[in-house]
Structure 1
Amino acid sequence: MSRGKLLHSHSKHSDGGGAINYPRGYEVLAELGFAGRRRSVFTRLAALSGAGPRHQILDVGCGTGYLTRMLAPLVGPEGGVTGVDPSLPMIEHARRRSPDNCSYQVGEGQALPFPDASFDIVVSSFAVHHMPVSARGTAMREIFRVLRPGGRLLIAEFRPPVNPLAARLVGILAGPAMRPTMPELLADLVPGAGLRIESTGTVGPVLYYVNAVRPLETRS
């Protein structure tokens, strides 16, 4: 059995996807995959999200809570960061390591357990490729739903690295679901849900990001 299969649970969906149920193994591989730059990369992502004091932020596919912990000091004690992930082991790992202004729930991106317009910002890092292909559009529409009008979305995903070793590590972390490439996929998914892409770019050797906004509602 490959290390990728050891990390990923069996999906109940016929078109891919699945949760990661081994947080410690994931943490080790993530540190290796970023070659010692994981903290600096996620610090950059936190800044790109636009997080600030009093913001309410949702992290879809939060995993071990690494990005939520980066966002927590930016929103301060009067703000909050909520993480949602389908894996109970990952959620439990996150809860043990996060400050008081972080909270976590077990759930899926395609069925977010939150009211409409609950959040100022939604972030998602390396989660879309874990979703079943048929659920990705639904998940993006759910993100649109829980964002307030004018709220912002930051998605960070893998882009294929050139270095063979880096490509192998990405394959271990991502599994077989990273096709088509995430830049191509997000270019369709994000505007397809009604969100307006404002910028795209790269951070480090394997990360591609999309910054988008839920347009303000216009009166008829």
Structure 2
Amino acid sequence: MGHGKQARERHEHDGDGGGMLIRRARRYEWSAAFGMLGRRRQVYDGLVALSGVGPGDRVLDIGCGTGYLTRRVARAVGPGGTVVGIDPSPSVIAYAATRSAANCTFQVAGAQALPHADASFDAVVSSLAIHHLPSDDRVTALGEMRRVLRPGGRLLLADFREQPRHLRLANLLGVLARHARQHHSMADLADLVGRADFELTGSGDRWPSLRYVQARRSMTDVSAHREGSRP
């Protein structure tokens, strides 16, 4: 690999706050479509169904990237609901904001310190984002998700349990963006939600090589995860 290409890849995926940022939104979209073998809409609509969101809900999408899942959730909550997508990469947030429905808004923010008030969402969703966080920050991020959920609010997390065979082959051929080569096992999702004091309500596997967990903030949990509310 030439020095110019190495420099471009470092720029496209600079770390920020210990994580990894997606810099090239269009390239990310191509990689995501490739990774789902043309079934991206079906896969993400399946995740929306698992999240249990419905008309009128207020939903937060963590690590929303280019906003694909955000847009699918927006269809489910309808015009009476709202979806907020957050991501630490300004370029993908700018891309998402120009392609989404009126009931979607986007913010540059990291999962470890959410800029939202306590108990302000009915549901939190996150797909293929947790693995981007340093392992030491994951429970902190889950604690923030719990904090911004109302008591009884729902959580859906999904990530690759292993890298799909076709992505391993693509890696060998060198045709995927660097961020797509970072997907790795997240078999400990259920452990993470338990350590963040969520109630686990379901888990399972989905094509292609996805693992998901469903959880909720206890109805009797009326305390913030930490002292103070964010504005």
- Number of residue pairs the alignment of both structures matches: 213
Query: What TM-score do the two structures reach when normalised by structure 2?
Result: 0.85
Which consecutive aligned stretches of 4+ in structure 1 deviate over 3 angstroms post-superposition? 4-8, 168-178
Map Cα deviations across residues 106-130 of structure 1 (whole Å, 9 max, x no partner).
0000000000000000000011011
* 1:111 alignment partner, SS class: coil
Gaps of 5+ in 1: none
**Paired residue for 2:88, among 86, 89, 93?**
86
Checking the alignment, whether the CA contact within 8 Å between 1:148 and 1:214 is kept in structure 2 is yes
Amino acid at match of 2:141: A
**Residues 173 and 10 of structure 1: CA distance in aligned 2, closer, same or farther (over 3 Å):** closer
**Amino-acid identity (%):** 46
Deviation, 1:167, is 2.8
Shift of residue 175, structure 1, vs aligned partner: 4.3
SS at match of 1:110: coil
Q: Report what 2:217 is aligned to.
A: 214
Query: Corresponding residue for 1:190?
Result: 193
1:161 to partner: Cα distance: 4.0
Aligned mate of 1:48, from 47, 50, 53: 50
CA contact (8 A) 1:129 1:174 kept: no
Deviation at 1:67, TM superposition (A): 0.5
Looking at structure 1, the residues matched to 25 and 117 of structure 2 have their Cα atoms a distance apart, in angstroms, of 29
| Other structure's SS at 1:20 match | coil
Contact 1:17–1:133 (CA under 8 A) maintained in structure 2 = no
Q: CA deviation at 1:135?
A: 1.4
Assess, with a 3 A threshold, how the Cα gap between structure 1 residues 8 and 209 changes in structure 2: closer, same or farther: farther
Q: CA deviation at 1:173?
A: 3.7
TM-score using structure 1 length:
0.89
Give the structure 2 partner of residue 38 of structure 1.
40
Tell me the SS of whatever aligns to 2:212: strand
Q: Which amino acid aligns with 1:11?
A: G
Unaligned runs of at least 5 residues, structure 2? 223-231
Letter of the 1:183 counterpart:
A
Deviations 1:13-34 (A, max 9, x none): 5xx5211111100000111111
The answer for the alignment partner of 1:57 in structure 2 is 59
Counterpart for residue 168 of structure 2: 167
Per the alignment, residue 29 of structure 1 pairs with 31
SS in 1 for 2:19: coil
